[in-house]
């Protein structure tokens, strides 16, 4: 294993202090294996978690590989099943399934490349400043400054053979087309590394989002009377903070505008992308799962 490469990458990671107990999500891909290697190297007390969605015939083999790597590194490992069917909204359903079985503060192997893709996806959804900040909860993404090429190099150095998920090439998924087509084209057009530029933009947007978040932290948009005299732009930011907390990713502009109409009394209820609802009753705004849509998805 290249000590120089390990040290270089380690210096750009943001892990908790040595000795801290952490959980790491490990799919078996290069990014998550690099996360596991670097977390162990940081002196953390690591537990590895692998989720099997049952989408490939080899998925159980991938779980065994993760277990073996974790055992070789001297850390505990759990392989859990969260089976889902292929079909519409696959990425969202897989993400929801993982959230149900993984520890709430599990560390993930998202990289700068993931950050750039997320920024573009959120901008296309009209997710505002919060969306431009990219991946949420940066304290759970310790290798966010690393590149995907570097995690692959680290695995090669450690003589690990990462899983290559064929779904990462499937053009059905918008993220894959952004990864494999849009970002390379942007890099060609501007003549610079677009991933680094988008990652820096995410950092700046994150700082701005934090400042704005402090301004609205005492607003309760679920009590419509309390925000009667608050300007619409401020209420919309508070709505996005509220929806993001409920949904788990930055809300789109259309959803925010419809919820603003609810807060202002122009409509009584609306569906939110992802199978959710927001309704108003007796001056209170309530968020719920759209049971009908959820059943259809199942």
Predicted local distance difference test score (pLDDT) of residue 227: 95
Among residues 278, 297, 280, the alpha carbon closest in space to that of 288 is found at 278
The whole-number average pLDDT for the span 41-68 is: 90
Structure tokens at 224: 């419509």
The whole-number average pLDDT for the span 236-241 is: 93
The whole-number average pLDDT for the span 259-264 is: 96
In this predicted structure, the answer to whether residue 155 has a pLDDT above a threshold of 90 is yes
pLDDT digits (tens, 9 = 90+) for 186-197: 999 999 999 999
Average confidence score pLDDT of the chain: 91
Structure tokens at 192: 């610079």
Which of the four pLDDT bands, split at 50, 70 and 90, describes residue 263?
A: very high
Annotate 15-38 with DSSP letters as a single string.
PPPTT-EEEEE--SSHHHHHHHHH
The whole-number average pLDDT for the span 201-217 is: 93
Pairing of strands 269-272, 276-281: antiparallel
What is the spatial distance between Cα 151 and Cα 142, in angstroms, rounded to a whole number?
Answer: 13
- This prediction has a pTM of 0.87
CB atoms within 10 A of CB 67: 17
pLDDT digits (tens, 9 = 90+) for 66-77: 999 999 999 999
Which of the four pLDDT bands, split at 50, 70 and 90, describes residue 290?
A: confident
In this predicted structure, the answer to whether residue 224 has a pLDDT above a threshold of 60 is yes
Q: For the stretch 244-255, what's the b/e string if a residue is b when 16 or more beta carbons lie within 10 angstroms of its beta carbon?
A: beebebbbbeeb
């Amino acid at each position: 294993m290249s000590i120089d490469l390990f040290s270089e990458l380690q210096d750009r990671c943001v892990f908790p202090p040595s000795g801290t107990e952490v959980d790491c999500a490990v799919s078996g891909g290069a990014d998550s294996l690099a996360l596991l290697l670097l977390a162990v190297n940081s002196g953390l007390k690591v537990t590895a978690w692998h989720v099997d969605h049952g989408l490939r015939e080899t998925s159980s083999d991938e779980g065994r590989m993760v277990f073996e790597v974790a055992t070789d590194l001297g850390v505990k490992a759990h392989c859990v099943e969260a089976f889902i069917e292929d079909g519409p909204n696959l990425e969202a359903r897989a993400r929801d399934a993982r959230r149900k079985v993984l520890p709430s503060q599990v560390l993930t192997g998202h990289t700068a490349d993931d950050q750039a893709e997320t920024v573009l996806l959120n901008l296309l959804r009209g997710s505002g400043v919060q969306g431009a900040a990219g991946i949420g909860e940066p304290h759970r993404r310790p290798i966010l400054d690393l590149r995907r090429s570097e995690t692959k190099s680290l695995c090669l150095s450690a003589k690990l053979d990462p899983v290559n998920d064929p779904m990462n090439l499937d053009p059905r998924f918008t993220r894959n087309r952004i990864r494999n087509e849009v970002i390379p084209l942007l890099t060609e057009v501007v003549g610079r590394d677009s991933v680094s530029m988008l990652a820096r933009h995410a950092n700046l947007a994150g700082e701005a989002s934090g400042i704005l978040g402090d301004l609205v932290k005492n607003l309760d948009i679920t009590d419509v009377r309390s925000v009667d005299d608050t300007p619409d732009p401020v209420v919309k930011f508070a709505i996005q903070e509220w929806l993001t907390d409920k949904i788990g990713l930055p809300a789109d502009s259309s959803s925010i505008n419809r919820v603003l109409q609810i807060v202002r009394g122009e409509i009584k209820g609306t569906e939110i992308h992802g199978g959710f609802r927001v309704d108003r009753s007796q001056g209170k705004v309530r968020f719920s799962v759209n049971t009908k849509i959820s059943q259809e998805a199942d």
